[in-house]
Chains A and B, each alone.
Chain A
């Protein structure tokens, strides 16, 4: 380390080049820190459990086209038949698929009145088999009873008496109550229509994965009579692919005046929904890697240039007693200083960019450890980049001191 003083003073006399490289390193660190932060943020969003038994679930849609399509009869028979198949755990009719991107939402509030605050919530119309088909756990209250399931018409405005909500929704409505205490509480939908919470489930995600309220869901004990409906099906572990075929074949076997379409697994649905996330992650990784490579090449270029420019100086140092190792150390230390200045600038700009991202896109703050980790990585990148040119410098013959003009 004893060399640091004169190396630093010499660098100050060649400010511009060193400073530009330091700026490049600062920029690389800024983008690296924030991009990896975004990558990790997306990863943690993708890792959130949906509450479902995704590996063993699929769904399909059934659309009536015939004049005499008797939806009620068909749906009830379908559900009975599907449930009777060995390998099926349970099935429910449903209006929207979790994570799929399309669905219903409403607002619930704890006091009546249009002007009172309401909490947005995703709405799933399911029957008494909903909880079982989802594979979620009831942590308080009771499941719907078969007798309370009603049919909902396309333009119906009213709501049934009872609902089941997720724990996250219960907390949002009644922050101070435990799930058990929430049972029996009244909430109001559409401003003033009362509904009673009769059950709380642990977890279930809404159809919109990017929504900040993705954990807020309510189950409404109704089947829809919209001529088009979906069946959400859960199979025994490992039976999904077989059951998909079997169920589809069974449903299309008899002409009931409807079409079976869109037989898809929950896994495909999840992949589709998060495709833009993983694409963004890939792009960010590419940017980080390319930027790091460009910075490394910039260092290689600058050190190579400076070695070539200083060949005679290096020869002179060798003549004055520098060993090959001393010459290598010289360039490594010089690079360490430039990199350090860049990284110190980078700490500031990384935090500044993050603060802006937090403001503009409500991204979370970066964890403090991003800063030291990025610094260590870029220090190592810098030292690795400088190694080759520094080694070449160390091979310069001391005779150059006398052999060049």
Chain B
């Protein structure tokens, strides 16, 4: 489904080379809900960006849906992102000048769907996140939790196989965080594979699978692992 083999990612600046991912190996099965934790700077976002085709990598191989993405050009990657991947960002990343309808519409237009099809999908997606009645509102008129729900609707409207989320609850209070996570769990139950980076072990605990990233490498954490230990590990560096 999603397989990374010995992925390397190096950021070069004039002074330093940062090995953000080194021999990063991971296999994610269809329908998984993977929570990624780890100290700050350990490479979580880098991993997610590579997985989501937002960044290229310097070595190793990455198969998305059984297809190697190595050597694909920018247009092919954009197309693949558009069709297979939905993104949820920490700061929601709604387009402030577009109302909710137009926001959810963005990936569908790039997909080239006809107007009627787009309208149906937008309404359906906003329905799922409970904001269908506010279609004409601007993002600024919503609370943070509501904005993140719109972002989820936007990610879902294209019916992607993967939902990638970098700290989706990082800007939300715990009550809103819980409701967003409830929503994500529901989406996962419908069959969408989710990979979520989080700093919050309590939320990570709700995922079906936990991985821990440190120094650009993966170490698996079993479901039964002590939450306290996880907290401890995260606190060490984070």
Q: Are A401 and B93 in contact (CB-based, < 8 A)?
A: yes
Nearest CB in chain B: distance from A396 CB, A: 12
Which residues, 9 to 40 on A, are CB-close (under 8 Å) to B? Answer: 9-10, 13-14
Residue on A nearest B95 in the bound complex, by CB: A313
Which of B24-32, B82-90, B211-219, B226-234 touches A? B82-90
Residue on A nearest B115 in the bound complex, by CB: A2
Q: Which residues of A contact B74 (CB under 8 A)?
A: 323-324
The yes or no answer to A44 lying at the interface (CB within 8 A) is no
Which of A238-246, A270-278, A314-322 touches B? A314-322
Q: Are B98 and A320 in contact (CB-based, < 8 A)?
A: no
> Contacts A10-B98, A14-B97, A323-B75 known; A399 to B110 CB distance under 8 Å?
no
In angstroms, Cα B16 to Cα A4, docked, is 44
Which residues, 337 to 392 on A, are CB-close (under 8 Å) to B? Answer: none
The yes or no answer to B52 lying at the interface (CB within 8 A) is yes
In angstroms, Cα B105 to Cα A10, docked, is 13
In angstroms, Cα B6 to Cα A94, docked, is 102
Chain B 98-110, CB-CB to A under 8 Å as 1, else 0, gives 1100100111011
The yes or no answer to B134 lying at the interface (CB within 8 A) is no
Q: Which residues of A contact B95 (CB under 8 A)?
A: 10, 313, 316-317
The yes or no answer to B55 lying at the interface (CB within 8 A) is yes
Q: Are B87 and A319 in contact (CB-based, < 8 A)?
A: yes
B binding-site residues for A, Cβ under 8 Å: 45, 48-49, 52-55, 74-75, 78-79, 81-83, 87, 89-91, 93, 95-99, 102, 105-107, 109-111, 115, 138, 154, 158, 166
A binding-site residues for B, Cβ under 8 Å: 2-3, 5-6, 9-10, 13-14, 312-313, 316-326, 397-399, 401-403, 405
Partner of A321, one of B49, B78, B102, B105: B78
In angstroms, Cα B109 to Cα A3, docked, is 8
Q: Is the interface of A mostly helix, strand, loop or mixed?
A: helix
Nearest CB in chain A: distance from B118 CB, A: 9
> Contacts A6-B98, A10-B97, A403-B45 known; A321 to B54 CB distance under 8 Å?
no
In angstroms, Cα B58 to Cα A151, docked, is 104
Residue on A nearest B113 in the bound complex, by CB: A2
Q: How many residue pairs, one in A and one in B, have C-beta atoms under 8 Å apart?
A: 92
In angstroms, Cα B98 to Cα A9, docked, is 7
In angstroms, Cα B160 to Cα A320, docked, is 11
Q: Which residues of B contact A6 (CB under 8 A)?
A: 98, 102, 105-106, 109
In angstroms, Cα B53 to Cα A402, docked, is 12
Q: Are A320 and B81 in contact (CB-based, < 8 A)?
A: yes
> Contacts A321-B81, A323-B74 known; A402 to B102 CB distance under 8 Å?
no
Q: Are A397 and B55 in contact (CB-based, < 8 A)?
A: yes
Q: Are A323 and B78 in contact (CB-based, < 8 A)?
A: yes
Nearest CB in chain B: distance from A17 CB, A: 12
> Contacts A401-B89, A402-B49 known; A321 to B98 CB distance under 8 Å?
no
> Contacts A2-B109, A9-B102, A403-B45 known; A319 to B52 CB distance under 8 Å?
yes
In angstroms, Cα B83 to Cα A323, docked, is 13
> Contacts A322-B110, A402-B49 known; A397 to B54 CB distance under 8 Å?
yes
Q: Are B54 and A319 in contact (CB-based, < 8 A)?
A: yes
Q: Which residues of B contact A322 (CB under 8 A)?
A: 78, 82, 110
Q: Which residues of B contact A401 (CB under 8 A)?
A: 54, 87, 89, 93
Q: Are B48 and A321 in contact (CB-based, < 8 A)?
A: no
Q: Which residues of B contact A319 (CB under 8 A)?
A: 52, 54, 81, 87, 93
Q: Which residues of A contact B97 (CB under 8 A)?
A: 9-10, 13-14
| Extra A-B contacts (16), CB below 8 Å, given A326-B110, A402-B87 | A2-B109, A6-B98, A6-B105, A6-B106, A9-B97, A9-B98, A312-B93, A313-B93, A319-B87, A321-B107, A321-B111, A321-B158, A398-B55, A399-B54, A401-B87, A405-B91
Nearest CB in chain A: distance from B102 CB, A: 4
Q: Which residues of A contact B138 (CB under 8 A)?
A: 13
Residue on A nearest B105 in the bound complex, by CB: A6
Partner of B82, one of A316, A321, A324: A321
